[in-house]
Structure 1
Amino acid sequence: MRARTAAAAGVLGVSLLAGCDAPAPAPPPVSPLRAPGNPASPAVPATRTSGTPPPVTWQVGARPLPLRPDGFGEILPTPPELVNRALPTRDLLPPPTRDRYAAKVTAVPADVLARSTWQPACPVASADLRYVTLSFWGFDGRAHTGELLVRQDAAKPVTDAFGELFAQRFPIEEMRITAPAELDAAPTGDGNNTSAFVCRPARGQASWSAHAYGLAVDVDPFCNPYTKSDLVLPELASSYLDRKNVRPGMVLADDPVVRAFAREGWQWGGAWRSPTDRMHFTATGA
């Protein structure tokens, strides 16, 4: 793999376009995070971005970035269209009925495994993975069905945690299985796919990531970027380093998302010092 492949999972995306269904009644608003501001600065209250989101003019994954010497994309300012990110979700699976949370765990179908990043060299056997479909709320205020691959023993913790996120109406833009081509695609720095199993090394390391074992989940990566020194991933997400400007999809300390995973014994990478991996939840501590 090239140097940048460690950043591919959860960072690259495909185009998310609004569907062509007939207009539906306006859904109830999606809650941002019901969480306090940055506890390190309690004297400065968190603010919330309000107002009508701008029209969708951004096509995710369409604009490759120039490369840095380390193989990642150049860290560029967040485009105005993504500063208050609220792109709609394109349904890949049938949405849940009556907007109720539903989760299903099965053995991984052969066609699903074939379009995933699994290969025999991965540190988890395909028979030990499970295919999970589950409900989530989109930034469009509608319920959708996403898909994840996780290790067998992670299926219940993951479905329970996302059940709590659904109850809190926490918005997720996209939830799909990472495709092999994404690992070597040119970085675009604008992806926001919530994902679990990806057979790749840890960022900047030769050892396997917890994702390669099916024991980690990245939630709304663009809204919760990874940082280490001058590196920001996704590369266009610098606007979301301002954690006092609380926008939908952001994960903050001791908020419902962190508590939901903590109840399952999973750690949050946003509490780490270097790197700080705000999107990352892990059963292994790595």
Structure 2
Amino acid sequence: MKKIITISLFLVLFFANLTSEEQNEMEAVIDSDMTFEDAIKGTKAPKEIIDSLTLIDVFYYSFDNKLHKGQLVINKELASEVTEIFKMMKVIKFPIEKVIPISAYNWSDEASMEANNTSSFNYRTIAGTNRLSLHARGRAIDINPRLNPVVYEDGKIVPKNGKYDPKKLGTFHPTHPIVLELKKLGWRWGGDFKSYKDYHHFDKE
């Protein structure tokens, strides 16, 4: 009986010392809870690239207005910066559908985008070229890609189920606070590209 009371008292004190933010994060809906090994399973990336990556937990509000926990495989040099950006998105309640390492989609960029999944590392080339994307080094992030699709000059949209309406929640536009903050930190936004617009894409060399 004494042992049960001691454990109960410990739990009361433990939760009393948690901030409201920490309590909220403990109650978050889990979208991804992988190990690093799971998150890179099946990649064709060389060892030197894998060694430059890390797996981070991020918290965000999704479209159900609930706090969610997801994960990103990102370059170690950018991990703390990206964590801070996600904290900012959480504070302003910018909704994010889900954040799951792209290994869950068998490394298919198209499948991940169609699911409106936010991701970073993917060892792949830039679409239509033989050049490695900055995603291949974990130095790019795609956020809500179905809501912030690639829009080509001929009207083609990628992903094919994408639709861009800057008035909708979860979308980016030139004066959006997240766009402005990332650009201030030296990130490039795909919405500024000249020959096409890649509204979901941010990268940093």
Q: TM-score, normalised by structure 1?
A: 0.56
**Which of 232, 244, 254 is the matching residue for 2:157?**
232
Task: Name the counterpart of 1:195.
Answer: 119
What is the alpha-carbon distance in structure 2 between the residues aligned to residue 185 and residue 265 of structure 1? 25
Compared with structure 1, are the counterparts of its residues 135 and 268 closer, same or farther at alpha carbon in structure 2 (3 Å cutoff)? same
Compared with structure 1, are the counterparts of its residues 278 and 97 closer, same or farther at alpha carbon in structure 2 (3 Å cutoff)? same
Compared with structure 1, are the counterparts of its residues 257 and 274 closer, same or farther at alpha carbon in structure 2 (3 Å cutoff)? same
Task: Extract unaligned runs of 5+ from structure 1.
Answer: 1-95, 103-107
What is the alpha-carbon distance in structure 1 between the residues aligned to residue 69 and residue 171 of structure 2? 20
Task: Name the counterpart of 1:148.
Answer: 72
What is the alpha-carbon distance in structure 2 between the residues aligned to residue 265 and residue 185 of structure 1? 25
Q: In structure 1, the residue corresponding to 2:194 is in which secondary structure?
A: coil
What is the alpha-carbon distance in structure 2 between the residues aligned to residue 266 and residue 185 of structure 1? 21
What is the alpha-carbon distance in structure 2 between the residues aligned to residue 149 and residue 186 of structure 1? 18
| RCO higher in structure (CA 8 A, sep ≥6) | 1
Question: What do you get for the CA RMSD once the two structures are aligned?
Answer: 2.6
Task: Name the counterpart of 2:183.
Answer: 262
226-235 or 205-214, larger mean C-alpha shift: 226-235
What is the alpha-carbon distance in structure 2 between the residues aligned to residue 180 and residue 98 of structure 1? 28
Q: AA paired with 1:251?
A: F
Task: Name the counterpart of 1:137.
Answer: 61
Task: Name the counterpart of 1:252.
Answer: 173
Are 1:227 and 1:274, in contact at CA under 8 Å, matched by a contact in 2?
A: no
What is the alpha-carbon distance in structure 1 between the residues aligned to residue 112 and residue 119 of structure 2? 17
What is the alpha-carbon distance in structure 1 between the residues aligned to residue 46 and residue 130 of structure 2? 14
Compared with structure 1, are the counterparts of its residues 140 and 262 closer, same or farther at alpha carbon in structure 2 (3 Å cutoff)? same
Q: In structure 1, the residue corresponding to 2:60 is in which secondary structure?
A: strand
Instruction: State the identity as a percent.
Output: 27
**Which of 125, 129, 137 is the matching residue for 1:213?**
137
Compared with structure 1, are the counterparts of its residues 232 and 278 closer, same or farther at alpha carbon in structure 2 (3 Å cutoff)? same
Task: Extract unaligned runs of 5+ from structure 2.
Answer: 1-20, 29-34
Larger Rg: 1 or 2?
Answer: 2
Compared with structure 1, are the counterparts of its residues 188 and 283 closer, same or farther at alpha carbon in structure 2 (3 Å cutoff)? closer
Are 1:137 and 1:144, in contact at CA under 8 Å, matched by a contact in 2?
A: yes
What is the alpha-carbon distance in structure 1 between the residues aligned to residue 94 and residue 189 of structure 2? 17
- Of Structure 1 and Structure 2, the greater helix share is in 2
Are 1:168 and 1:256, in contact at CA under 8 Å, matched by a contact in 2?
A: no
Shift of 1:126: 1.2
**Which of 69, 89, 113 is the matching residue for 2:40?**
113
Question: For this pair of structures, how many residues does the alignment match?
Answer: 177
What is the alpha-carbon distance in structure 2 between the residues aligned to residue 200 and residue 211 of structure 1? 7
Pair 1:170-2:170 in alignment: no
Task: Name the counterpart of 1:41.
Answer: none
**Which of 72, 76, 98 is the matching residue for 2:23?**
98
